[in-house]
């Protein structure tokens, strides 16, 4: 691949199909990693789903230790600290494949390898890294991330946990309460955020926990939860817990930055964790629909079932192509910064793509929830039974829309970060927006372009979707200025326009690249899915655009913007969505599962 689209610039720059990374680009090492992780899930996790649903926390810990024995906890950690030193995409790939068996393991794995190991790797001193990372990557010890408090959720910097420095300056005494802490029941290392004296911002600490010498740490009872039932989730109480002064993460007052950046990493990893969950639900539903007979034929022969299968597969495809597109962009950015000897290469690279990470978190988590919901419906009464995997999949999926910042917060962040970067001059949104405004005043062209190249009209339409986003966003900024942050419903509208644009483009670019690599005839189902996804995306973008326009401007200006929105979402050759769904479903049904 010759180039990458810098973070956040996808709205104003064209991305070429040959420059995106897809699952077709996995090297042999990555394919082996994916296969071995899937085999581990099929062997150790999937046959034992009942144990997780019965809240067998000890079994979750046992599986995590086995994952450590297999090397799955050390993929993205440098060899100097006991890791395998593999790239960002490889670490995403393991997170993807290990997460489909049960949400309990997905949560334990993500909390340990993502938001627990990453802060130490990025912000820890050399002493801290060498002391803790080998034990964490081997599975000898496990980590937990202690940020949320009873009165500090989305507003993470408002935490009340205090850290008091000793008179001799050798340690801090931490006192406070943390809630919803994943892995708390078996963690030996806590990443803890506390405020030193009256500092403006919180500070991060690495706190070691020994059950035989608790050092002022007590654990609450296991939480009763809707899903992820065997994921250990407890409150953690600190009562003058002594922490050596050199166990700070980064700098004093720098904890909020650490928390934000850890969540950026967590968001893209969470999106990846939603992929295999969708694959397994879809595969089970296809096989069930092919076997289940009503009115003397398999229910897969009915159009209503085919509709659901096609939509489930299409949303999954958009999720996967978007995730690995972004993951590889981050990996390339890391490599470039390391080559330039920039410190904190991974941190800065993930921060660059924070907008895309928020997009992925929202889209993939909602796709997984919708997929499992449709799965229950396909199974019918059996789907509501705990004897089939659908109801557990639905319950486990629900937390993903809350983890790593609620989807509402992530939507607001998506637009907020775009506007903030534009205001700082880091992202030129106003120039392209002014061009769009000028285009609205011009007479539209009526000649039909040459769309003979595969997906050329669809990719041109993505460019028009970007214009629609710029038109609506620029007008909202002009109308509300600094008070735009108070217009949350309009921000949600714009965010959904951005999300649909990015994921539609990702699916189309990945499909065009696959067609160039394999031949269009061999990726026909992906072509159908990319087109169906764009059709759906245009419908959603149009709805959200109309709401934002109607809520922002009035009179002639409103009329002009509504006409512009209509122009920017107009298909020359409108597809037949029912025919697309039938074609997608036919391939799934014939092959008794996903083939891409």
Quickly count helices (H) and strands (E) in the chain.
19, 10
Which run of H or of E encompasses 566? helix 555-568
Structure letter (DSSP) for residue 171: E
**What's CA 179's distance to the chain center, in Å?**
23
* Annotated catalytic residue, options 391, 404, 457, 505: 404
Pairing of strands 143-146, 189-196: parallel
Specify burial of residue 448 (Cβ count, 10 A radius: 0-12, 13-18, 19+).
Answer: exposed
Distance separating alpha carbons of residues 384 and 377, to the nearest angstrom: 8
Q: Are the C-beta atoms of residues 202 and 157 closer than 8 Å to each other?
A: yes
Structure letter (DSSP) for residue 44: I
> Which residue, 28, 581, 559, is CA-closest to 313?
581
Distance separating alpha carbons of residues 551 and 564, to the nearest angstrom: 16
Distance separating alpha carbons of residues 37 and 31, to the nearest angstrom: 10
Pairing of strands 203-208, 297-298: unpaired
Distance separating alpha carbons of residues 392 and 373, to the nearest angstrom: 11
In angstroms, the Cα distances linking 27 to 22, 46, 87, 386 are: 11, 27, 12, 39
404 is catalytic: yes
The backbone torsions φ and ψ at residue 226, rounded to the nearest 5 degrees and listed phi first, read: -60, -45
> Which positions ≥6 away from 46 have C-beta within 8 Å?
101
Residue 170 in tokens: 């050798």
Q: Are the C-beta atoms of residues 256 and 202 closer than 8 Å to each other?
A: yes
Specify burial of residue 452 (Cβ count, 10 A radius: 0-12, 13-18, 19+).
Answer: exposed
Residues with active-site annotation = 404
């Amino acid at each position: 691949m010759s180039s990458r689209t810098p973070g956040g610039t996808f709205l104003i720059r064209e991305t070429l199909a040959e420059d995106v990374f897809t699952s077709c680009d996995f090297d042999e090492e990555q394919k082996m990693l994916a296969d071995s992780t899937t085999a581990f899930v099929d062997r150790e996790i999937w046959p034992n789903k009942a144990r997780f649903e019965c809240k067998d926390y000890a079994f979750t810990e046992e599986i995590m230790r086995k994952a450590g024995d297999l090397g799955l906890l050390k993929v993205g950690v440098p060899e100097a600290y006991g890791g395998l030193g593999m790239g960002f995409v490889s670490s995403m790939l393991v997170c993807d494949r290990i997460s489909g068996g049960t949400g309990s393991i997905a949560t334990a794995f993500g909390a340990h390898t993502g938001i627990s190991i990453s802060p130490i790797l990025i912000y820890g001193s050399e002493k801290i890294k060498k002391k803790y990372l080998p034990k964490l990557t081997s599975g000898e010890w496990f980590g937990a991330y202690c940020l949320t408090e009873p009165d500090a959720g989305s507003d993470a910097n408002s935490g009340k946990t205090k850290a008091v420095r000793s008179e001799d300056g050798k340690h801090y005494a931490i006192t406070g309460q943390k809630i919803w802490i994943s892995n708390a029941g078996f963690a030996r290392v806590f990443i803890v955020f506390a405020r030193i004296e009256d500092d403006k911002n919180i500070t991060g600490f690495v706190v070691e926990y020994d059950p035989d010498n608790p050092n002022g740490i007590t654990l609450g009872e296991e939480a009763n939860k809707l899903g992820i039932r065997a994921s250990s989730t407890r409150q953690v109480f600190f009562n003058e817990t002594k922490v050596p002064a050199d166990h700070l993460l980064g700098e004093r007052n720098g904890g909020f930055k650490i928390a934000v950046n850890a969540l950026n990493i967590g968001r893209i990893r969470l999106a990846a964790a939603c992929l295999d969950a969708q694959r397994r639900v879809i595969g089970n539903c296809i096989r069930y629909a092919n076997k289940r007979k009503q009115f003397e034929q398999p229910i897969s022969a009915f159009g209503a079932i085919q509709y659901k299968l096609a939509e489930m597969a299409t949303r999954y495809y958009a999720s996967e192509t978007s995730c690995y597109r972004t993951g590889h962009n981050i990996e390339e950015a890391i490599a470039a910064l390391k080559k330039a000897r920039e410190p904190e290469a991974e941190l800065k690279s993930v921060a660059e793509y924070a907008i895309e990470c928020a997009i992925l978190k929202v889209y993939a988590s909602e796709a997984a929830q919708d997929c499992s919901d449709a799965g229950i419906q396909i199974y019918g009464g059996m789907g509501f039974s705990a004897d089939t995997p659908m109801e557990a999949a639905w319950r486990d999926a629900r937390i993903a829309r809350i983890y790593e910042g609620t989807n509402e917060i992530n939507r607001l962040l998506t637009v907020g970060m775009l506007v903030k970067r534009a205001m700082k001059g880091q992202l030129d949104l106003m120039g392209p927006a002014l061009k769009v405004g000028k285009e609205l005043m011009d007479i539209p062209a009526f000649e039909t372009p040459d769309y003979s190249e595969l997906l050329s009209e669809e990719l041109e339409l993505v460019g028009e979707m970007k214009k629609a986003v710029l038109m609506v966003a620029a007008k909202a900024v002009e109308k509300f200025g600094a008070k735009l942050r108070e217009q949350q419903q309009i921000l949600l509208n714009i965010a959904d326009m951005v999300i649909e644009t990015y994921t539609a483009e990702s699916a189309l670019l990945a499909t065009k690249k696959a067609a160039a690599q394999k031949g269009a005839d061999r990726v026909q189902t992906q072509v159908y899915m990319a087109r169906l996804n764009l059709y759906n995306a245009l419908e959603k973008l149009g709805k959200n655009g109309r709401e934002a326009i109607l809520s922002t401007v009035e009179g002639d200006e409103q009329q002009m913007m509504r006409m512009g929105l209509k122009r920017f979402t107009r298909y020359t050759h409108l597809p037949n969505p029912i025919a697309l769904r039938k074609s997608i479903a036919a391939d799934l049904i014939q092959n008794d599962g996903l083939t891409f």
